[in-house]
Amino acid sequence: MRRGLGIFLAACAVVTGTEWITFRYYDHLLGGAAVSAAAPARPAFSVRPVHGVLPAGGNPNLVAVTADGTQLAYVGQDAVLRVVDVATGRVTFTRALQAPADYVEWISGTNLFVGTVKDHAQTRDLELNTIDTSLQDFREVQTFSYLGKSSDFLHIAFSPFTNDIYVVIGNAVSTVVYHFDTNGALSEVPLGFPRVDAVGVAQTTGVMYFAVTTGSGPAVYAYQHGQSTLLVRGAVLLGVVGDAVYCGVLDAQGRVTEVLRFPAGAGKAQPAAKLPDPVPPAAVGVDDEGHVFVVAGTVCRDVTAHVSIPLPAYDRASIVGGALLLFRHGALIGVGA
């Protein structure tokens, strides 16, 4: 990994877009996904078995689960995107991709972000696309060109209410954060840190939350109108629910001991959950109802509801986008949402 990669990413990335990136399209794509405040709450956090799901390389970034846990999308080794009904196991949509996939994320119940990769001799291009599974519509959003060979899509965060989209591209050393605003205009976000660990976006205010790790340790910030505001040090970003951000407070060993909730506008921290035992950050998640859950061996504990859910035998667990993914021998065998 070259030492100058961060500068290379920031200064040399050539961004080419297509003319369809307009407010009208984003309003349809993201705004159409908005859920009324009066919508009924989904069932409590649960873990459901799945069968025959083999994401390429067992990569959790190639699996996405809808917020209600009813559908999952994944890209297999054959470069085919499939959507599966979790309850029945039935494949409801397939699409052969023209390039290897790098990232999959649900926008709504019928729309997906799909990131693909095109490698060249010394560089690579990352292409952000959308797929409307109901209309069989595939569109290129943006191509990020002349990137380092180790660059990937790392995070995509968006709001269906404001149409803000944040895209994090980079590797284990450095990242660049891009922002599509409500009109679809693209810009680089100057955060002033070499690498961003995670991002999230408030659903109605457009505030972006991001986590970094520096010589002073981990910290979580809020970013709005070109300004970054420190929320908390010694903590990691777990997720954003509505306009509130959830942060895991770390002990001296880097384990999460409690979860704090910061309401809209970076207000005063509120206790969300006290964990019964310290756990690694990768074992803690927050679902779309604000329930804090912890993976602990053979059970998943919903700390908020004080419920323990038995888990099937697995050899690897990942928490992606507020969903729990359970793998065994490279196959996805269970999802929690």
Domain that holds residue 65: 1-35+49-196
Q: DSSP secondary-structure letter at 62?
A: G
300 found inside a domain: no
Query: How far is 324 from 65, CA to CA, in rounded Å?
Result: 9
Task: Grade residue 5 by pLDDT with cuts at 50, 70 and 90.
Answer: very low
Query: How far is 332 from 168, CA to CA, in rounded Å?
Result: 25
Residue 154 sits in a domain whose CATH number is 2.40.128.630
Query: How far is 323 from 293, CA to CA, in rounded Å?
Result: 10
- pLDDT digits over 82-131, tens only? 999 999 999 999 999 999 999 999 998 899 999 999 999 999 999 999 99
312 found inside a domain: no
Report the candidate in 43, 103, 58, 68 with the shortest Cα–Cα distance to residue 326. Answer: 58
16 found inside a domain: yes
Query: How far is 143 from 6, CA to CA, in rounded Å?
Result: 19
Task: Give the number of other Cβ atoms within 10 Å of residue 287's Cβ.
Answer: 24
315 found inside a domain: no
* Percent above pLDDT 90 for the chain: 78
Say which residue the tokens 């060979």 belong to: 149
Query: How far is 251 from 192, CA to CA, in rounded Å?
Result: 26
pTM of the model: 0.86
- pLDDT digits over 279-292, tens only? 999 999 999 899 99
18 found inside a domain: yes
Say which residue the tokens 């602990």 belong to: 296
Report the domain count for the chain. Answer: 1
Check: CB of residue 235 under 8 Å from CB of residue 247: yes
159 found inside a domain: yes
H runs (alpha helix) in the chain:
5-12, 23-29
Structure-token pair, residue 260: 């704090």
Q: Is 328 helix (H, G, I), strand (E, B) or coil?
A: strand
Report the candidate in 51, 50, 52, 102 with the shortest Cα–Cα distance to residue 75. Answer: 102
- DSSP β-bridge partners for residue 83: 73, 93
Query: How far is 133 from 44, CA to CA, in rounded Å?
Result: 27
7 found inside a domain: yes
Q: Is 6 helix (H, G, I), strand (E, B) or coil?
A: helix
φ, ψ dihedrals at 8, nearest 5°: -60, -45
Task: Grade residue 40 by pLDDT with cuts at 50, 70 and 90.
Answer: very low
317 found inside a domain: no
The pLDDT of residue 4 is 33
- pLDDT digits over 68-83, tens only? 889 999 999 999 999 9
